[in-house]
Structure 1
Amino acid sequence: MAFAPQIKIPATYMRGGTSKGTFFNLEDLPEKCKVAGAARDAMLLRVIGSPDPYGKQTDGMGGATSSTSKTVILAKSTKADHDVDYLFGQVSIDKPFVDWSGNCGNLTAAVGSFAISNGMVDADRIPENGIATVRVWQANIEKTIIAQVPITNGEVQETGDFELDGVTFPAAEVQVEFMNPVDASEAMFPTGNLVDDLEVPGIGTFKATMINAGIPTIFLNAEDINFTGVSYNGTELQSDINSDENALAMFETIRAYGAIKMGLIESIEEAATRQHTPKVAFVGKPQGYTSSSGKEINADDIDLNVRALSMGLLHHAMMGTAAVAIGTAATIPGTLVNLAAGGGDRDSVTFGHPSGTLKVGAEAIENEGEWTVNKVVMSRSARVLMEGAVRIPGDVLDNIPVDDMENK
């Protein structure tokens, strides 16, 4: 029996922030995959090595965590006053599913670098030495992001001494600005309340701040979570939660009922097909702890602790988009995030996460009781890990009906 040979697809493997993923130029994709649909999803699943019942993604580029099971498709922007269109696909590890419902804030730090290196930014906008401002259109959520990319001798500067907790080695600092993360036409608080009572059948009722900023996020108070008989305070590490199946099931149930209350889904069953959003996170007052790397975090150095789950597991650091939600909520008096940080007015917040700390700044304005956020700013770093081509079996795309490609 003859088998189809593998096909090569140009790709770049990059780290951005505390995530890494496989980056593609839209023009380099197989013809079937240049449009959204079943063929594109099949290609990305095979590239990453999903679905994998072993949960290892051994036969693909994925790293068996939500932070390393990511794909990015970039193209020169068709949007006025933007350089590059950024489309993000979160690939499920054990299911045949690519979630296009949200952004990856961490990988955003790598988008500007890729765009410059691949000719998507006009040459006259790139200094010989200095900072190149790359205007990114985030196509998943239809938002503008500005990446400030360091340039040396006309090329992207990747090495440096900027240290980012959750990343082992230092690199060049990339400042990322998430512009107007909530449109005036959108509800920042979809229920209309800064704090709601979220009823979760069989588990309990929780105080919750549900916010659309960066990514839809459900914030809980750590001290309110005790369904599994374990007390939480916001200093937990991955090993404390990811090895507890009851805790993970509890958080997923909370996430599903929160998604309904936020208007993101209509039934609990739909949550399984929307794994990337919303996120569920819990906050606690500042307490010292030892991070996953052994670094001592002092209570005096942070405003609060935050822990967040991504794709069903506690994140090893903090998702960039969730950091946008944290920064936004922290600036609005009365949210659970703001109260955990001590309450009152603020324009930035430093929070503890499992790998260390992160500072996020936000510009929030109140007008007749309504809050708007002009931008949220944080520093990340990015680096090319490998470039060339990925390979997938040639028959992966052979059996995708045209109707499936058009209707997906």
Structure 2
Amino acid sequence: MAQTGIKATYMRGGTSKGVFFRADSLPSDTRLRDAILLRVIGSPDPYEKQTDGMGGATSSTSKVVVIGPSSRADCDIDYLFGAVSVKEPVIDWSGNCGNLTSAVGPYAIAQGLVAAPENGIATVRIWQANINATIIAHVPMKDGQVMEEGDFELDGVTFPAAEIRIEFLDPGGSEDAKEGGGAMFPTGHPIDELDVPGYGTFGATLINAGNPAIFVDAEALGLKGNEMQARVNGDAALLAKCEAIRAHAAVRMGLGATPEEVTAQRPHTPKLAFVSLPEAYVASSGKQVTPESVDINARILSMGKLHHAMTGTGAVALAVAAAIPDTVVNRLVAGKASGQLRFGHPSGTMAVGAEAVQRDGEWTVTKAIMSRSARRLMDGVVYVPSDVTAGLS
């Protein structure tokens, strides 16, 4: 039988890539939708290559996005993100991708879902349907088209492009953030002592900001904080320890019933990151990162491996944690100028800002801001074999 063709766009957003779909191009049955999307990406793949699909066999390149007109009067579009497991038949819809968020506005404009000026900046109001939060994208326009070329450089992306500014509104107060029992800190504490059987006790900041995240000191993992991908991803014992910490923290945050359930069904969020005072290193691009150039070093794990740069939502959570007193991150940057955080990651450096205010004795972050870039890589049709839906009816 002939394959089925589905209109799609392949896009880079920040340091990630994914396949973008209009909501009306996919079936409303979520089981059928997920079966189709898994096949599009090429998962599950025991070889971990995704050769027979559009995925790139990493957490940064095994992603799908679904966009349609917004169900809300105060937003222009609804945006749903799926992190596709490379090896397992799982799409994790539990969180956002901050990097691909930068491509959402350009895609929506190109699809005619959002009106934009001929020239200047288009403001796209995005409803992030995974976490029930509002994001504002500021997309540059020229002659009625999204500007994709420019001189904005982003460590982790080879070529410069046009800058897209992203505002995450009330990043610690989304409805999804409250599912664990607290608006920003699910346990009510900036730092928790987390007992992980077989590994010990770890001081950790468990925070909901952009996505659920966990921050620990690099030293607690026996690390310096300037490690690169090969060092971490080549250490199976270290990765197992990190996953155990992540899974137990997720249960403490109310995001899963058991650590085993979290590992099997929720690989995308929460993400575990480790931080340290600035330590010199050579980034993957060859760039020298000096202690004087950053406020902090940060590394984040995504889908079980160390990320090659920094996830967008991880950057948001890092900035928010830095702005709130007594978190693991804040204790490292306390006394430094507030407003913008400069941090080192495996591909280089990045800056992200967060606005925090104290109300009735409680800290609230009203906005987190970062810049990214995006580019359309391909427009066309993806093909799905006819046997994909077998057994689903």
Question: Displacement of 1:86 after TM fit?
Answer: 0.2
How many Å separate the matches in 2 of 1:171 and 1:34?
35
User: Which residue of 1 is the match for residue 89 of structure 2?
Assistant: 96
Choose the corresponding residue for 1:252, options 226, 229, 243.
243
Match for 2:73: what amino acid? A
Query: 1:209-254 CA distances to partner (integer Å, 9 max, x unpaired)?
Result: 110001111100011113xxxxx11101100100111111110111
SS state at 1:67 partner: coil
Structure 2 match to 1:8: 5
Q: With structure 1 as the length reference, what TM-score do the two structures score?
A: 0.93
CA offset at residue 150 of structure 1? 0.3
Show the 5 A alignment for 1:157-236: 157-183=147-173, 186=178, 187=182, 188-226=184-222, 232-236=223-227
Q: What is the rounded CA distance, in whole Å, between the counterparts of 2:270 and 2:335 in structure 1? A: 25
Provide the residue aligned with 2:28 in structure 1.
34
Q: Give me the whole-angstrom Cα distance separating, in 2, the residues matched to 1:34 and 1:168.
A: 37
2:309 is aligned with what amino acid? Answer: A
Alignment pair present for 1:354 and 2:351: no
Structure 2 gap segments, 5+ residues each: none
Report whether the alignment pairs 1:400 with 2:389: no
What code does the residue aligned with 2:150 have?
G
Distance apart, 1:378 and its partner CA: 0.1
Q: Does 1:327 align with 2:319?
A: yes
CA-based RMSD of the aligned residues comes to 1.2
1:59 equivalent in structure 2: 52
Q: Is the 8 A contact 1:214 1:325 kept in 2?
A: yes
Alpha-carbon separation, structure 2, partners of 1:175 and 1:184: 20
Deviation at 1:345, TM superposition (A): 6.6
Alpha-carbon separation, structure 2, partners of 1:371 and 1:342: 15
Deviation at 1:344, TM superposition (A): 6.1
Per-residue CA distance 1:160-209 (angstroms, 9 max, x = gap): 01000000000000000001112287321111111111111110111111
Q: Return the offset for 1:343.
A: 4.4
The offset of 1:399, in angstroms, is: 2.8
Residues 1:389 and 2:385 aligned together: no
Partner of 2:271: 279
- Tell me the secondary structure at the aligned position of residue 166 of structure 2: strand
Q: Distance in 2 between matches of 1:54 and 1:341?
A: 42
Distance 1:235 1:97 in 2: 31
Q: Answer whether contact 2:133 2:174 (CA < 8 A) is retained.
A: no
> What SS is found at the alignment partner of 1:68?
coil
Any idea what the Cα deviations from partners look like across 1:99-158, whole Å, max 9, x if unmatched?
000000100000000000001113xxx221110000000000010000000000011000
Distance in 1 between residues matched to 2:173 and 2:287, nearest whole Å: 38
Instruction: Name 1:141's counterpart in structure 2.
Output: 131
Question: What is the CA-CA distance between 1:373 and the residue it aligns to?
Answer: 1.1
Residue deviations 1:77-114 (CA, integer Å, cap 9, x gap): 12112111100011000000110000001000000000
For the 8 Å contact 1:181–1:373, the answer to whether it is kept is yes
TM-score, normalised with respect to structure 2: 0.96
For 2:319 and 2:84, locate their aligned partners in 1 and report how far apart those are by CA, in whole Å: 26
Q: How do 1:89-128 and structure 2 match up within 5 A?
A: 89-122=82-115, 126-128=116-118
Query: Which residue is 1:405 aligned to?
Result: none
Distance across 1 between alignment mates of 2:18 and 2:211: 19
Deviations 1:308-348 (A, max 9, x none): 00000000000001111001001112111111224467222
Alignment of 1:300-319 (within 5 A): 300-319=292-311
Letter in 2 for 1:146: I
Which amino acid counterpart does residue 120 of structure 2 have in structure 1? G
Are the aligned partners of 1:242 and 1:313 in contact in 2 as well (CA < 8 Å)?
A: yes
CA distance 1:170–1:184, change in 2 (3 Å): closer
Identical aligned pairs, as a percentage? Answer: 59
- Structure 1 letter corresponding to 2:236: E
Once residues 307 and 335 of structure 1 are traced to their aligned partners in structure 2, the CA distance between those partners, rounded to angstroms, is 16
What are the ranges of 5 or more consecutive residues in structure 1 without an aligned counterpart?
A: 227-231, 402-408
Contact 2:173 2:209 in 1 (8 A): no
One-letter identity of the residue aligned with 2:196: V
Relative to structure 1, the CA distance from residue 90 to residue 184 in structure 2 (aligned partners, 3 Å threshold; closer, same or farther) is closer
Q: What secondary structure, in the 3-state scheme, does the structure 1 residue paired with 2:364 have?
A: strand
